[in-house]
Structure 1
Amino acid sequence: MAEDNIFREVDEELRSDRMRALWRRIAPFVIGAAVAIVAIVAVNEGWAWYSNSKSAQSSQELYAALDSANKDDLPAAQAELDTLAANGSGGYPVLAEFAKASLLAKSGDSAGAVAAYDTLANDQSNVRLRELALLQAASILVDTGTLADVETRVGSIATDDNPMRRVARELIGLAQFKAGDNEAAKASFEAVLNDPLAQDGIRNRVAYYLAAMTSNGAIAPEAPADASTAADAVDSIIQGDEVAAPASDAAPAEATTPAETTTPDAPATTTTPAAETPAAEPAAPAAGTTTPPATQ
């Protein structure tokens, strides 16, 4: 037993020595990894705080510039937007560029605004922002440009698979109407109305355009449905009904014919051919005779 205890103690000492040697080898790596994890978390949190603070500051600068624009202080607004575009954080520089182009249009510089929007469209990697810039440029060119100018910018947007197709078709329709191509404008507006995803706002605008064009005589009003076509449609519905109408429903209509053609106050001097006199006399009611039930 004593020998077993000695061997067990020696074995434990050897294992302890091996563990201490292993720890001495890997301790620097374990401690370094722990320090690195703590440092990464700290840097990440610090960067998030810095980004949020910069975004908050950029947001305040944008609102300040828009407030100056609303007060018609366009030079101050332009200067604030220039600063934001140069030093802003996140997506605020792009918003500042859009606002600058809008200010140019508001100040009457339509050509400068269109050029600014075109530059934005060419510089954007985001497809939706690029299309938004093109739509803004086209909305200005509806009044100041030609149909070709509008179609060049939004023609590729007015496709069935583009989510901004309705606005693009509206702008193209307005440009076509301005160019005098009323039928093409009507087709563009109707394409918006027939779009099941069109919202109420754009539907109302397009319906107003069509109503105005119709009232001005620019386009012909919709022709009413032909009577024979409507009758055929009704007949097709009736033929699909298995329950036939009762024959007695037609009887009163037939019975009213003689009464409607007979006038109780007809003058007595009316001449009647001899061959027809016996048939005509029963139809003339005597004075004071009550109206038959069929005519009521």
Structure 2
Amino acid sequence: MSNDTLLREVDEELRRDRMRKLWRQGAPFIIGAAVGVVLLVAGYEGWNWYHQGNSARSSDQFYAAAAIADGTDFEAAKTALDGVIATGSGAYPALAQFREASLLAQAGRTDEAVAAYDSLSTSLSDGHLRELALVMAGNLLVDGGDVAAVENRVGGSIAPDSPLRNAAREVLGLAQYKAGQLDAAMTTFTAIVDDPLAARDLTGRVQIYIQQLLAEGATAPVVSAPVDVPADASAEPSVAVDPSAELDVSAPASSAEASSSAP
């Protein structure tokens, strides 16, 4: 093997390792800032019930369970969250289900966590929260390389009017990359870059994915014509939100855990 060939292989491996590291760092935040918008639905519902005098007990119960979940006693946390799910009112049972699914993922019980999110996607009345559950489930399945399983969950959220469209695209693109579908991943990631409302931190991360795909031989993306964005258009928030942390609140006022292995 020539020195040039060896250097190219080392460079390619370093690039691939950089993408793995980026995935590990970004996975807990993969849903992005759009999750904050979606979770306002649950927050508003809980606030509304609280003011009707129906959820004070559930509020206390949920926050107590969330505090236990911050610790290391998995069984105690699960038991406390199960109590909220069984007897809580308003938005608190749903919040407890999200927190429990996250807890399962953190414990490495990925299949159970995916099943929990899948259950939420069929049992919740709010459409945005159903979408969120599916994207969270898809995120946990990325490392398995089963593109169909991921796409079955996140495909509906890629619609242009979905607040989770770019989170769904990132999850799908990573699954495609993991499965060796480089051109498909390139197309998916390019859709994020072409979205004028995509958050800046997300597009920066995706640009690194695209550079890695090019280094591995993917077809270069077609450059789209500039899109004029109305002055009053609201861009996606640029600050990423960790869904687990958002749901894991410790007082009234942490992918989704991702697999530790990289795509």
TM tier, smaller: 0.5 to 0.7
- Deviation, 1:57, is 3.0
Residue in 1 aligned with 2:72?
A: 72
The question of whether the paired residues in 2 share the 8 Å contact of 1:110 and 1:144 is answered with no
**Structure 2 letter corresponding to 1:64:** A
**How many residues end up aligned between the 2 structures?**
174
**Structure 2 letter corresponding to 1:217:** E
- Deviation, 1:222, is 8.0
Residue in 2 aligned with 1:209?
A: 209
What stretches of structure 2 of length at least 5 have no aligned partner?
A: 1-48, 223-263
- Deviation, 1:221, is 6.6
Q: Deviations over 1:100-136 (max 9, x none)?
A: 1111111111111111111111112211011011001
What stretches of structure 1 of length at least 5 have no aligned partner?
A: 1-47, 224-296
**Structure 2 letter corresponding to 1:55:** S
- Deviation, 1:64, is 2.2
Matches within 5 A, 1:9-28: none
Residue in 2 aligned with 1:272?
A: none
- Deviation, 1:163, is 2.3
Structure with greater helix percent: 1
Residue in 2 aligned with 1:88?
A: 88
Whole-Å separation in 1 of the counterparts to 2:221 and 2:115: 41
The question of whether the paired residues in 1 share the 8 Å contact of 2:68 and 2:77 is answered with yes
Whole-Å separation in 2 of the counterparts to 1:161 and 1:187: 19
Q: RCO higher in 1 or 2 (8 Å CA, sep ≥ 6)? A: 2
Q: Deviations over 1:225-253 (max 9, x none)?
A: xxxxxxxxxxxxxxxxxxxxxxxxxxxxx
Residue in 2 aligned with 1:62?
A: 62
TM-score, scaled to structure 2: 0.61
Does residue 189 (structure 1) correspond to residue 189 (structure 2)? The answer is yes
Three-state SS of the structure 1 residue aligned to 2:198 is coil
- Rg: which structure is higher? 1
Q: Deviations over 1:13-51 (max 9, x none)?
A: xxxxxxxxxxxxxxxxxxxxxxxxxxxxxxxxxxx8884
Whole-Å separation in 2 of the counterparts to 1:147 and 1:201: 25
**Structure 2 letter corresponding to 1:164:** L
**Structure 1 letter corresponding to 2:210:** L
Three-state SS of the structure 2 residue aligned to 1:156 is helix
Residue in 2 aligned with 1:23?
A: none
TM-score, scaled to structure 1: 0.54
Matches within 5 A, 1:115-126: 115-126=115-126
